[in-house]
Structure 1
């Protein structure tokens, strides 16, 4: 006698939990109709960040084809050969490189790390203008050769450049994502775990907003092993100082500056962070990541189209939904200030 199938948990509860847990994405495009069994990732920019991402993607067996694109042919070929020579130690992946964007054709995921470096005495706004001009040369050909791809922007300032990529691509917003505060949140979890002497994987904590100095730490929603930490401390009448919390957040912001001061650049952590995002997208993991998304309309953000990091669900269709995470009035106000800061800069770009 065969046993009847057990209905799913949502059927037992009788509620559409998923439907109320996530805010829907407006005008979202469906996942790529491609039925190929191979996965192709293209990385634009083979600097320290681009190559750290490439190396991590290879070791984690995330792609069948990996294409590198850069404007410097000698360095590009050298990086390609260096990776190819490790073939005996890696899962089988076809690695290619080109200065021509046609090599990226039929990519499932295009990761953009290319960006102009700041010259001595140059203003951030002037640097941003140069990066916008660079994106005008990068984004349209990527879209032309891979019209069904998902764009993952890593170049800084990531929130503004993700907005620029979205405008230049003509893609629906769910298929243009910035790496945002995914790494900031990892640093945040590490520092909290270190402070409390627990494993970072047991810490649920998010940094949202701008990937930068105006980011917002969501203290109200931090949990350790499923226990909301601030409400736990209050119920147990365990005193804590807000200044201590703010210092941890400041340390998160300063982490990147310290690494850059010590070794000249950041690479490994962002490599793992972006590979983590690529896995969630391409393997349809539906995991929650704080990434830069079109934030207008969430938490009363208005004033124009702006990309900011919010806890979002990622899968094969790109951005699947933004989690309705409860935030305090103070956190919401800081988030709106973060949006205002970015919108003021965007208004000067003419995109």
Structure 2
């Protein structure tokens, strides 16, 4: 005997099936970064629905169709694309990848003006259709864009943050692994500060396995990580994006994978420690600026910042990075 509600084989009523929530990822911008991020998220099964939004109707619809044709070969998901911002409605996570394209030789800071103008136009409309989403700004210069987006949207700092130096830290670990001959997964090191020219590696807290990186003596003839080697690696981390842009016009694969890691941390409440860019409040004496430090990330968005011990030089470098970003933000009226 039932009350008239249809019951399926799992014991759920039809009305329950209709209202049951599944994870939804919205990606703003169907360019190289946005489309590749959608692909990476789908391949990793990060979300049940992936929605692409772009003002270029033909491009966004074509990208969604192309991705959809491959769903058979990846974890099941729905893929939609539209030039109507309503496609982002009720998203759990919004990745903002739209912005001016970085030209060869152009710094990220030089991109700021055009991108901030776009954020002013689009972000309020996004918040209107997806007020409860966690917003992740990916567009460069990400620290300035994130700070501006917080001011424009009025969202709390835990709900909106930037992709920060998640990719830079991956580049750092890759280069250290290449030098030492160990798996990159066994290298634990962070880039902090600006996602750009003033960023800095936190060498003093880095480890390889359980060995402090500064004490590493080498394996397989690789040799220790001397000051000269560390400086070379740090320069390569900063310059690698410029090299990639010079050679192929855009960086898209690694940032898409880095972005998918952030997406999963939020949607699956993984409570991962990631060097995202968020608004700091008296972090080692730094306030009122968005820059990257290791931060707890989960369903709550950006959580506690880890009080990582730093050397005098590292702390000084982090303050210099903060001052540089704050100056740029002020020049744009924020």
TM-score norm. by structure 1 comes to 0.84
Matched residue, 2:41: 57
Aligned residue pairs, count:
311
SS in 2 for 1:37: coil
Matched residue, 1:292: 277
Matched residue, 1:251: 236
Distance between the aligned counterparts of 2:207 and 2:108, measured in 1? 36
Say if 1:69 and 1:76, in contact at 8 Å, map to a contact too.
yes
Matched residue, 2:120: 136
**C-alpha displacement of 1:127:** 3.8
Q: Which runs of 4+ in 1 moved over 2 A?
A: 117-127, 238-241
**C-alpha displacement of 1:123:** 8.8
Matched residue, 2:75: 91
Residue in structure 1 matching 2:308, options 307, 320, 325:
325
**C-alpha displacement of 1:151:** 0.3
Say if 2:275 and 2:295, in contact at 8 Å, map to a contact too.
yes
Alignment of 1:47 with 2:25, yes or no, is no
Say if 1:152 and 1:179, in contact at 8 Å, map to a contact too.
yes
- For 1:82-161, list aligned pairs within 5 A: 82-117=66-101, 127-161=111-145
**C-alpha displacement of 1:90:** 2.2
- For 1:226-241, list aligned pairs within 5 A: 226-231=210-215, 241=226
SS in 2 for 1:247: helix
Alignment of 1:347 with 2:330, yes or no, is yes
SS in 1 for 2:284: helix
Alignment of 1:264 with 2:249, yes or no, is yes
**C-alpha displacement of 1:93:** 1.1
Distance between the aligned counterparts of 2:118 and 2:236, measured in 1? 32
TM-score norm. by structure 2 comes to 0.88
Say if 2:49 and 2:79, in contact at 8 Å, map to a contact too.
yes
Distance between the aligned counterparts of 2:41 and 2:284, measured in 1? 34
Distance between the aligned counterparts of 2:197 and 2:295, measured in 1? 21
**C-alpha displacement of 1:213:** 0.7
Say if 1:110 and 1:150, in contact at 8 Å, map to a contact too.
yes
Distance between the aligned counterparts of 2:264 and 2:164, measured in 1? 16
Distance between the aligned counterparts of 1:242 and 1:123, measured in 2? 27
**C-alpha displacement of 1:201:** 0.2
Distance 1:36 1:299, change over 3 A: farther
SS in 2 for 1:347: helix
Matched residue, 1:28: none
Distance 1:240 1:43, change over 3 A: closer
Deviates more, 1:196-205 or 1:224-233: 224-233
Give CA-to-partner distance per residue, 1:226-273, whole Å, 9 cap, x none: 22121455xxxx976322211110011111111112222111101110
**C-alpha displacement of 1:129:** 1.8
Matched residue, 2:52: 68
Matched residue, 2:191: 207
Distance between the aligned counterparts of 2:164 and 2:299, measured in 1? 19
Structure 2, unmatched stretches of 5+, are 1-18, 218-222
Matched residue, 1:6: none
Distance 1:125 1:63, change over 3 A: closer
Say if 1:295 and 1:310, in contact at 8 Å, map to a contact too.
no
SS in 2 for 1:299: coil
Say if 2:164 and 2:277, in contact at 8 Å, map to a contact too.
yes
Say if 2:103 and 2:245, in contact at 8 Å, map to a contact too.
no
Higher relative contact order (CA 8 A, sep 6+): 1
**C-alpha displacement of 1:64:** 1.1
Matched residue, 1:338: 321
Alignment of 1:164 with 2:145, yes or no, is no
Distance between the aligned counterparts of 1:142 and 1:108, measured in 2? 12
Matched residue, 1:190: 174
